[in-house]
A = this chain, B = another copy of it.
Amino acid sequence: LTRTLSRSIPPLPLSAGHTDRAAHRRADEAWIQARLCDSRSRVAVVRGQQTLHRRDGEAVRAAWLGPEQLSEAVRREAVFLGERDGVALFAASVEADVVLPDDGAEWGELRRHLLLMEPEEAALLAFARGMAYWHARHRFCGSCGAPAECRQAGHLRACTGCGALHFPRTDPAVIVRVEHRGRCLLGRQATWDPGVYSVLAGFVEPGETLEQAVAREVLEEAGVVVSRVRYHSSQPWPFPGSLMVGFTARARSARLRRDEELEDVRWFSRREARDALQDGTLRMPSRYSISHRLMEEWLDG
């Protein structure tokens, strides 16, 4: 089953990256430094939650800069993303000190442009954004509070006090389509846009399997006991730092007990969902998300 699914699903926008990360280069400081002095190298720039884009007709592209357009301090914390066609790719975080090129580059939210971008570039910017967020949250050592230094071309931070090593963080989360006799369990959070419902999701906690996390989240959020928990697919979700792991499951009963975490949770038949989508009272999550994919497959099924 998994195999059939994996084959038939076109990759999600953020799952399409095939750039060689060339991890063996990270420890080669001389090589990295040379690439950071090479004007052919390309740098994706991140500022808080924004990345630098350029409009190209209907499409949106990453606005790559040359390393020489960045200050020495910014280059020192650059993250090596990989190599493409012999060109080294980096990510850099800036405050306000980057000079925007005079050719229409602009700051934007990657999430809003995802579907207008080439999947490969979207995946690279997502990688850049995820790494930038991790660096921003790990300037200091959690063990002793001393400053932590950037090492390994941005893939490690080492404490200048106690020497502790800190590696990039990725938070695994499960997302699950629960069905019961053809109906699908959807919930919404109060902060979402009106009408938006999604399959249930939550972070994996220490000491549990992915399948246990699925069962716990569905029980917590909807009071529903699940069985037949099956893996579906995975998607990086660097908003700011998650890895979404998708599952399908069956509910043992349709009885619901809503948690305060959700504003509403309910069963939708396909007909109800299609009608509500039609008249606009139900809206799907963003098209580039794994939740959209899980719902779409059910609607089509």
Q: Are B234 and A210 in contact (CB under 8 A)?
A: yes
The answer to whether A205 and B140 have CB atoms under 8 Å apart is no
Residue of B nearest to A142 (CB): B138
B-side contacts of A17, CB under 8 Å = 207-208, 212
Asked if A170 and B131 make an inter-chain contact with CB atoms under 8 angstroms apart, the answer reads no
Give the residue name and chain of the B residue nearest to A79 (CB): B206
Decide: B15 and A209 in contact? CB cutoff 8 A: yes
Per the bound structure, the CA–CA distance linking A142 and B216 in Å amounts to: 29
List the B side residues contacting A107 at CB < 8 Å. none
A164 on interface, CB distance cutoff 8 Å: yes
Shortest Cβ distance from A178 into chain B, in angstroms?
Answer: 16
Segment of A32-40, A50-58, A143-151, A190-198 in the binding face: A143-151
Are B220 and A24 in contact, with the CB atoms below 8 A?
yes
Q: A210 to B241, Cβ gap below 8 A?
A: no
Report the contact-size class of chain A (Cβ under 8 Å from the partner). 35 or more
In the complex with contacts A136-B143, A137-B142, A126-B3 CB distance below 8 A: no
A235 at the interface (CB under 8 A from B): yes
Set of chain B residues within 8 Å of A64, measured between Cβ atoms: none
Task: Please indicate the chain B residues that have their CB under 8 angstroms from the CB of A140 in the complex.
Answer: 140-145
A1–B3 alpha-carbon span in the complex (Å): 9
Measured between alpha carbons, how far is A284 from B139 in the docked complex, in Å? 40
**CA A24 to CA B15, docked complex, whole Å:** 34
User: Are B145 and A137 in contact, CB atoms less than 8 angstroms apart?
Assistant: no
Most buried by B among A124, A139, A236: A236
Q: How far is the CA of A171 from the CA of B169 in the complex (A)?
A: 7
Is A6 close to B, CB under 8 A? yes
Instruction: Tell me if B236 and A206 are in contact (CB < 8 A).
Output: yes
Please give, as numbers and ranges, the residues of chain B lying within 8 Å of A134 by CB-CB distance. 206
Question: Chain B nearest CB: distance from A225 CB in Å?
Answer: 12
A178-218 vs B: 1/0 string, CB under 8 Å? 00000000000000000000000001111111111000100
**Cβ contact of A238, chosen from B143, B144, B206, cutoff 8 A:** B206
A208-251 vs B, CB cutoff 8 Å, 1 = contact: the mask equals: 11111000100010000000111101111010010101000000
Nearest chain-B residue to A131 (Cβ)?
A: B206
In Å, the complex CA distance between A172 and B244 comes to: 11
Q: Tell me, rounded to whole Å, the shortest Cβ–Cβ distance linking A129 to chain B.
A: 8
Asked whether, in the complex, the Cβ of B145 is within 8 Å of the Cβ of A207, the reply is no
Question: Contacts A171-B170, A234-B209 given: A145-B147 contact, CB under 8 Å?
Answer: yes
A204 in contact with B3 (CB, 8 Å): no
In the assembled complex, which residues on chain B have CB atoms less than 8 Å from the CB atom of A139?
142-145
Is A90 part of the binding interface, using a Cβ–Cβ cutoff of 8 Å?
no
A23-B220 contact given A3-B1, A145-B146, A171-B169, CB 8 Å threshold: yes
| Other 20 A-B pairs with CB < 8 A, given A127-B208, A131-B207 | A1-B1, A2-B231, A6-B229, A17-B212, A137-B164, A140-B143, A142-B148, A142-B166, A145-B145, A167-B203, A168-B206, A169-B169, A170-B172, A172-B172, A207-B236, A207-B238, A208-B236, A210-B234, A210-B243, A210-B245
